[in-house]
Chains A and B, each alone.
Chain A
Amino acid sequence: MSQQIQDVTQAQVIVIGGGLVGTAVAYGLSRSGADTVVLDQGDDAFRASRGNFGLVWVQGKGHDLPDYSRWTRSSASRWPGFAEALMADSGIDVQLKQPGGFHMCFSDEELLERQSRLQTLQDALGDYPFQMLDAAELKARLPLIGPAVVGASYTPQDGHVNPLKLLRALHTSAQANGARFHAGVHVDRIDGAPGEFCVTAGQRRFVAPRVVLAAGLGNPGLARQVGLHAPVAPNRGQVLISERVRPFLDYPTINVRQTDEGTVQLGDSMEEVGFDDSTSTEVLAAIARRGVSTFPLLRDVRLIRAWGALRVMSPDGFPIYQQSAQHPGAFVVTCHSGVTLAAAHALRIAPWILGGAMPDELGVFSGERFLTDKVFSHAH
């Protein structure tokens, strides 16, 4: 029995996915004047964008792949202007603060490993500022640090935003520039004909010469239909949320940050547990212990919420950016750093989708790199 198609929407670009990645790309596209449609699945999706930690993080990323570091830094350096553009288009202050960030170390071995990782990056990239701080130097910068912390690394480009305000700002800004959002759209099929893609979702159909797959954990199945390979899988992170407290922490750190509104967010777990976004006492307890070791005054803070969320993780942890060779006009854009990379997605990916040159860092990020027998793991 064939379904009756009742509704056909034409556009220049269809973006599948209304999370941080899809809306950042859609914002960039709409700002360039492209008639853009965004298809958002709904609350039955595993919404990574609703669960993340909010860091704009450069430190240590890409120590084994300098192009990833370059790409990340190109986004971090565009973030101040990007935040201003979002403010102008949406009236929403995403609370970007980039005072630099700290990665705490709890043993000398950890500190040495950290130094070696950042030194490797500096050697590869030249301009890559970082500082290694011993316990006394760190205490001078962060007086509330605990005695278990033996030192930390610091890089000046790191920062954080309020990720929920960011998602809202991206939605509002894209729509202010003419992007059209369709919520509750569960894509069944993508058909590619030369110069035209047809996306079918129930009785609705969306037609455009270009389609962008930004559907997070939904990407593997969609990519297959347009000749792309995007083998992303869930990687769970758990988060603890405290009562609101007066500002005590001016800098983001890898495992503890304080939001603009006073909440303390604790996290940084990574687990490979499939499509399970629940929480576990064991992991939450470890997160709490590490948080209290970092800042002992958190000992008495009241926790009010905890959640698990699923990162969108490729086998080697790096993003996948690729245009389909088999179906030109179909792109996949997928990563687990939707906050950090939002500026690059809006300002550098969007022009590529509209026919510009591919940003030169992106050559190494095609999905074909996973067509090997190598086994990867990201649990810790």
Chain B
Amino acid sequence: MRTDPLFKPVASEVSSTRTVALTFNDQPLSVPAGSSVAAALLMSGISRLRATPVSESPRAPYCMMGVCFECLVEIDGVPNRQSCLIEVREGMRIRSQEGARDLIFQPVNVQTLEVPS
């Protein structure tokens, strides 16, 4: 879901005007370099990042500091990633996390991805 963004970068905190290109559910977005995935999505007007595993209700980022696990998304084929803790990168393919991860039927490319340190 995309709406008018409620979030804007604080001008005094922006060190660069560089942007990176990525996609969310196949929709191309241009977002500020250096921001977290969660912040970039919120600034792009996206507030539904996932559906919960139990009731499938929509969720947006909440704590923005790695505690609440509300901001889970799939990034480059890896499910259930905390988008508030991950910096945007050029070409990232982000998908909303639709319910619980499936361990039995996994995307084929999960094994080949490096885990960012």
Binding site for B on A (CB under 8 A): 144, 243-246, 248, 261-262, 297-298, 300-302, 304
Instruction: Output the least CB separation between B70 and chain A (Å).
Output: 13
* Chain A residues closer than 8 Å to B102, beta-carbon distance: 245-246
* Chain B residues closer than 8 Å to A144, beta-carbon distance: 104
Verify A246–B103 contact, CB threshold 8 A: yes
Choice from B53, B69, B103, B111 contacting A248 with Cβ under 8 Å: B103
* Chain B residues closer than 8 Å to A304, beta-carbon distance: 69
Verify B53–A244 contact, CB threshold 8 A: yes
With A243-B80, A304-B69 as contacts: A262 and B53 at CB distance below 8 Å: yes
Verify B69–A245 contact, CB threshold 8 A: no
* Chain A residues closer than 8 Å to B106, beta-carbon distance: 300
* Chain B residues closer than 8 Å to A245, beta-carbon distance: 100-103
- How many angstroms from the CA of A29 to the CA of B13 in the assembled complex? 62
- How many angstroms from the CA of A302 to the CA of B110 in the assembled complex? 13
With A243-B80, A244-B53, A262-B53 as contacts: A301 and B103 at CB distance below 8 Å: yes
B54 contacts A by Cβ under 8 Å: yes
Verify A243–B101 contact, CB threshold 8 A: yes
* Chain B residues closer than 8 Å to A297, beta-carbon distance: 103-104
B99 contacts A by Cβ under 8 Å: yes
Chain A: CB-nearest residue to B102: A246
What would 14 A/B residue contacts be, using CB atoms closer than 8 Å? A243-B80, A243-B100, A244-B100, A244-B101, A245-B101, A246-B99, A246-B100, A246-B101, A246-B102, A246-B104, A261-B54, A262-B100, A300-B106, A301-B103
* Chain A residues closer than 8 Å to B100, beta-carbon distance: 243-246, 262
Closest 5 CB pairs between A and B?
Answer: A244-B100, A244-B53, A262-B100, A246-B102, A243-B80
- How many angstroms from the CA of A243 to the CA of B102 in the assembled complex? 11
* Chain B residues closer than 8 Å to A298, beta-carbon distance: 103
Verify A248–B104 contact, CB threshold 8 A: yes
* Chain B residues closer than 8 Å to A300, beta-carbon distance: 103, 106, 110-111
- How many angstroms from the CA of A243 to the CA of B54 in the assembled complex? 13
* Chain B residues closer than 8 Å to A248, beta-carbon distance: 103-104
Instruction: Output the least CB separation between A305 and chain B (Å).
Output: 10
Verify B104–A261 contact, CB threshold 8 A: no
- How many angstroms from the CA of A167 to the CA of B54 in the assembled complex? 20
Over the window 20-37 of chain B, the binary record of Cβ atoms lying under 8 Å from chain A Cβ atoms (1 yes, 0 no) is 000000000000000000
* Chain B residues closer than 8 Å to A261, beta-carbon distance: 53-54
* Chain A residues closer than 8 Å to B110, beta-carbon distance: 300
Instruction: Output the least CB separation between B77 and chain A (Å).
Output: 12
* Chain A residues closer than 8 Å to B54, beta-carbon distance: 261-262
Of the listed residues B54, B99, B103, B110, the one surrounded by the most CB atoms of chain A closer than 10 A to its CB is B103
* Chain A residues closer than 8 Å to B53, beta-carbon distance: 244, 261-262
- How many angstroms from the CA of A300 to the CA of B115 in the assembled complex? 12
- How many angstroms from the CA of A243 to the CA of B50 in the assembled complex? 14
- How many angstroms from the CA of A4 to the CA of B111 in the assembled complex? 67
